[in-house]
Amino acid sequence: MTKKNAFEPFTLPNGVELKNRIIMAPMTTCSGFYEGSVTSDLIEYYHARSGEIGTIIVECGFVDKKGLAFPGAIGLDSDDKIEGLAKIAQAIKEKGSKAIIQVYHGGRMVDPKLIGGLSPVGPSAIAAPRPEAATPTELTENEVDQMIEKFGQAVRRAIQAGFDGVEIHGANTYLIQQFYSPNSNQRNDKWGGSRDNRTRFPLAILDITHNIVKQFANSDFIIGYRFSPEELEIPGIRFDDTLYLLDKLAEKGLDYVHFSMGTILRSSIVNIEDPTPLIKKYLAMRSEALAKIPVVGVGNVINQTDLTTALENGYDLVAVGRACIAYPDWTSRIKNGEKLELFINSDKREELKIPVPLWHFSLIESLIRDVNLNNKKFNPGSYQEKVNDESYEFTINVELAKDYIKDMQLVNANNFDDNVLSNFNEIKDRIISSNSPHVDTISGATTQCEAFKKAVTKAMVKSNKDAILAEGGDPDDKSYDIVVVGSGGAGLAAAIRAHDLGANVVIIEKMSVIGGNTNKASAGMNAAETKFQKLKGIIDSKDLFYKETMIGGKNKNNPDLLRYFVDNAPDAIDWLDKNGITLSGITTTGGMSIDRTHRPESGTAVGGFLISGLVKNINNRGIEVMLDTNVIKIVTENHKVTGVEVTQEDGSIHTIKTKAVIIATGGFGANKDMIEKYRPDLKGFVTTNHKGATGSGITILEKLGAGTVDMKEIQIHPTVEQTTSYLISESIRGGGAILISQSGKRFVNELDTRDKVSNSINKLPEHYAYILFDQQVRDENKSVEEYISRNLVIQTNTLVELAEQLSIDINTLTNTIERYNNFILNKHDEDFGRTTGMRHPINKEPFYAIKIAPGIHHTMGGVTINAQTQVLDIQHHVIEGVFAAGEVVGGVHGANRIGGNAVADIIIFGLQAGKKATDYIHQY
């Protein structure tokens, strides 16, 4: 027999040549977003391990939203996942490795808490033989057919994402194996009963895979199959059963089969008295058809001797697991003759591009060798905290290990219903998976989730102090290169940029939650000449963007700031994209003549999406965030910043040492006294701002002598639901909605600037209006779902019913809609000259309306800065070491802010502040 060389090329049955016989095994990382989309960490993780290795098999992607078997799983269940998956495929392939992805469904192995408390599904209503396993719902025959189709569509998405192949996951007791197992499949129809019937499902999955490949890929697309050779259960799959299935699969065509075992030479787990390695039995018993299919071995391959042993015992290809995590360049090391030990230094996670959730897997954690025992983050132990939401008091035990959150328990769980318990368990999973309390909340349970998160934050603060005291240190003696004050978009962007440029950064936030007013942003982020515009064929220019923003601001905008803003907007879009925050959907807002408002492709509100993505980046970098901490003073000596004075929730006052400060605290839209001081005419107006928007940053900076500008320029937003102060996004009008008065008539160009639209509403006799739209607009704007969930929307099946609900004359309303629809067809608004957002006629049932009136939305005025974000005093001299970005700053927007420019402002100038503050500290 010719000796197999692991480092020479290998050709698969379909003619594809692999650069060598080495494969990176598919390993669960739990590092996707909670809904299954790809994170930047995952892309970096796979990119770091590609190149020398022949093939990388990406961890299993679930084919259905009820199919994820672990938190942080990645999905192949919808087309909106393709873009992220493509980044993984590209990251692997661009360095010369083949990229394959597993396709799977967890079946009865899915924990209900991972799928919103729903029942998992399986071939039969038989729970898995494990403690507290849920009994699955048996799939009907029709649902089985649908499931096969879902596998097929998952394969299509893998193809469209650019993968070189798929591995059908028929192992690890997941759904495909469940259908073949006599333990989990006790059906009486064609999908169960006899062994032949039980082969139908895996064979059908292979059939549809072949069909999809013929339609969407070339003949060089790789199809593999992973299998678990035996089951311990009685009845269960035995080795001859496995060979029977593999023979049938081989006859249909496979490019490889992949053993799923812990060691390459494992013997039977059923016939424990027989020491013969299963690979030996496999080679002896396989059919002629199966013998033509390469076989992959996996399990405890660390060094050259393990690789050689695998090949000498009959494996054609060898998959390497944990060793590839510990050594991203494992193939090169082995090829160069290195002898490796399987451990990871505790300070190497970031260098090795290991996502945090994977770092805390027990199998990986066991490899970690602590090299930094004197710098514990937490004092290990359990901390009990009491927190409140609007209705309840929760007692929560938070268990901390030396550098991660280990567990959470709701001590008084018996006091709450299943909905509360489900929310707690979901937030617990998110916190533990990300090793941070800064995670997304659950829609409809925001305050409750914030309470759960606050318990963890408080416990971490106490534990950190205990750890420092135990080492003889002073927990109040803190020092950082840069202090960022405020955790909205500007503050988070600044902190990330500064960290990435080498600064030691802390974010200080006076509220209990991260995000500030950015959480409330809904429309999008304006930018001209972006790659996403070009992809959609939108022709735009920075000069036109500048001109329209200056016109919108009534020529009061600071030209230098506006020029920097416009010129750097595309780079800010790209920076977000590179950090996993993709704003590829494009719409328009009032005052813009071009579609340049970038938002999530799904149409969801930009604010929550943006903060969620930025916080994930904060977590991944380990940037500290101090919540419930209020900066009251910037401390200086000899005109240089030396620290900030803060008050904390317990009333204590401390000084945090720093060389530079970035103020990103937002505006003063929620400060009634300041509003009335500068604009007495706005007394009594509701505000869309969160309660922390009090202008505290302006006050702090004025104490240092900072100048201010445009303080009287306060914007009211035209579409605010008055009982809740909830802002109705401009993207709804940009998507095609209109405004009507109580008389049933249009009265303004709906996408004129906000000041003009607001003034037109205020001039109506009733001082309010309705924003009216149809199902088409709802389908294209996910923010509508939130308005509906908050009971802000009137919904009817017909315009007649809508007129009745609004007490509007039906004939007038019908004539208004018909006239507007004609304008749409002719692309000309004869009444008010509207030219943008005229996308579709309003004629798709059902119909919707929201009662709105103006509310205080944005304060254009603030402290003065230059284009380097340095804060200027009243003589326009630079205040050394002090920078500012976001709504705390004046001058960018002039007398009126264009919708979509605030999000652009916070990211563009947040990034600039992070860079310039880092440049400043590196001078000293």
User: Do 872 and 827 fall within a single domain?
Assistant: no
Q: What is the DSSP letter of 483?
A: E
- Which two tokens mark 478? 């803190």
> Is the same domain home to 687 and 619?
yes
Contacts of 21 (CB under 8 A, 6+ apart): 4, 5, 6, 7, 8, 10, 54, 311, 316, 317, 318
pLDDT number for residue 520: 85
Report if residue 2 sits inside a domain: no
The pLDDT assigned to 341 comes to 86
Q: What percent of the chain has pLDDT above 70?
A: 98
| Tokens at 837, concatenated | 């957002």
Give the domain-ending residue among 407, 437, 472.
472
Q: Which of 346, 369, 392 is the last residue of a domain?
A: 369
Span of 4-13, 152-161, 615-624, 696-705 with lowest mean pLDDT = 615-624
Q: What is the pLDDT of residue 758?
A: 93
Overall average pLDDT of the 689-713 stretch: 95
353 C-beta neighbours (distance < 10 Å), count: 18
Shared-domain flag, residues 352 and 301: yes
In terms of residues, how long is the chain?
924
Asked if residue 643 is part of any domain, the answer here is yes
Residue 481 lies in a domain: no
The confidence score (pLDDT) of residue 489 equals 97
Task: Return d(Cα 64, Cα 763) in angstroms, integer.
Answer: 52
Position 1 scores a pLDDT of 53
**Mean pLDDT (whole number) for 727-741:** 93
The reported pTM is: 0.61
Q: Are 708 and 698 in contact (CB under 8 A)?
A: yes
Same domain, 226 and 133: yes
Domain annotation covers residue 336: yes
Answer whether residue 413 is part of any domain.
yes
Residue 371: pLDDT band (50, 70, 90) is: low
List the one residue out of 713, 731, 701 whose CA is nearest residue 857: 713
CATH number of the domain to which 706 belongs = 3.50.50.60
Domain co-membership, 464 together with 516: no
Answer yes or no: do 128 and 16 share one domain: yes
DSSP three-state, residue 115: helix
Q: Kindly state the helix (H) or strand (E) to which residue 559 belongs, with its residue range.
A: helix 559-578
Residue 481 has pLDDT above 90, yes or no: yes
Residue 248 tokens, joined = 């049938």
**Same domain, yes or no: 354 and 400:** no
Q: What is the pLDDT of residue 370?
A: 55
Q: Residue range 31-36: average pLDDT?
A: 85
Q: Looking at the structure, tell me whether residues 690 and 742 fall in a common domain.
A: no
Range list of β-strands (E), 752-877: 769-774, 794-796, 847-859, 862-863, 870-872
Mean pLDDT of the chain: 93
CATH number at residue 728: 3.90.700.10
The answer to whether residue 586 scores a pLDDT higher than 60 is yes
**Whether residues 343 and 397 fall in one domain:** no
Structural domain contains residue 282 = yes
Asked if residue 738 lies in contact with residue 746, where contact means CB atoms within 8 angstroms, the answer is yes
User: Beta 98-104 vs 55-62: how paired, if at all?
Assistant: parallel
pLDDT tens, residue by residue, 182-235: 999 999 999 999 999 999 999 999 999 999 999 999 999 999 999 999 998 889
Question: Could you report the per-residue pLDDT of 843-897, keeping only the tens digit for each?
Answer: 999 999 999 999 999 999 999 999 999 999 999 999 999 999 999 999 999 999 9
Q: Give yes or no: residues 227 and 337 share one domain.
A: yes
> Which residues 6+ apart lie within 8 Å of 518 measured at CB?
488, 489, 607, 610, 611, 903, 906
- Interval 273-292 mean pLDDT: 95
| 29 secondary structure, DSSP code | -
pLDDT on residue 372:
42
Cite the active site residues.
754
Measured CA angle at 879 (ends 874, 883), to 5 deg: 110
- Please give, one letter per residue, the 3-state secondary structure of 868-912: CCEEEECCCCEEEEEEECCCCECCCCCCCCCCCHHHHHHHHHHHH
Q: Which long-range contacts (CB under 8 A, 24 or more apart) does 328-337 make?
A: 328/48, 328/49, 328/352, 328/353, 329/51, 329/52, 330/49, 330/53, 331/7, 331/20, 331/22, 331/52, 331/53, 331/54, 332/52, 334/303, 334/304, 334/307, 335/7, 335/52, 337/304
The tokens 């505000």 sit on which residue? 687
User: Which of 856, 882, 898 finishes a domain?
Assistant: 856
Between 431 and 643, the more confident residue is 643
Pairing outcome for strands 17-18 and 525-526: unpaired
Among 434-448, 598-612, 620-634, 886-900, the range scoring the smallest mean pLDDT is: 434-448
Residue 489 lies in a domain: no
User: Per mean pLDDT, which range of 257-261, 444-448, 675-679, 703-707 is the poorest?
Assistant: 444-448
Q: Is the pLDDT of residue 472 over 70?
A: yes
203 and 314 assigned to the same domain: yes
**pLDDT value for 373:** 35
- pLDDT, mean of residues 510-523: 90
For residue 412, what are the domain limits? 381-472
Indicate whether 717 pLDDT > 60: yes
- Both 867 and 886 in one domain: the answer is yes
Q: Residues 36-48: what's their mean pLDDT?
A: 93
Q: Distance between CA atoms of 671 and 689, rounded to whole angstroms?
A: 9
Lowest average pLDDT, out of 44-53, 370-379, 878-887, goes to 370-379
Residue 44 buriedness (CB in 10 A; 0-12 / 13-18 / 19+):
middle
Nearest of 484, 879, 790 to residue 666 by alpha carbon: 484
Helix (H, G, I), strand (E, B) or coil at 428: helix
Examine residue 543 and state whether it is found in any structural domain, yes or no: yes
Segment 748-772, tens digit of pLDDT: 999 998 889 999 999 999 999 999 9
User: How many domains are there within the chain?
Assistant: 4
> Whole-angstrom Cα distance, residue 395 to residue 190?
52
For residue 376, is pLDDT > 70? no
Residue 660, pLDDT score:
98
Task: For residue 108, name the pLDDT band (cuts at 50, 70, 90).
Answer: very high
For residue range 330-362, list pLDDT tens digits in order. Answer: 999 999 999 998 888 877 888 999 988 888 776
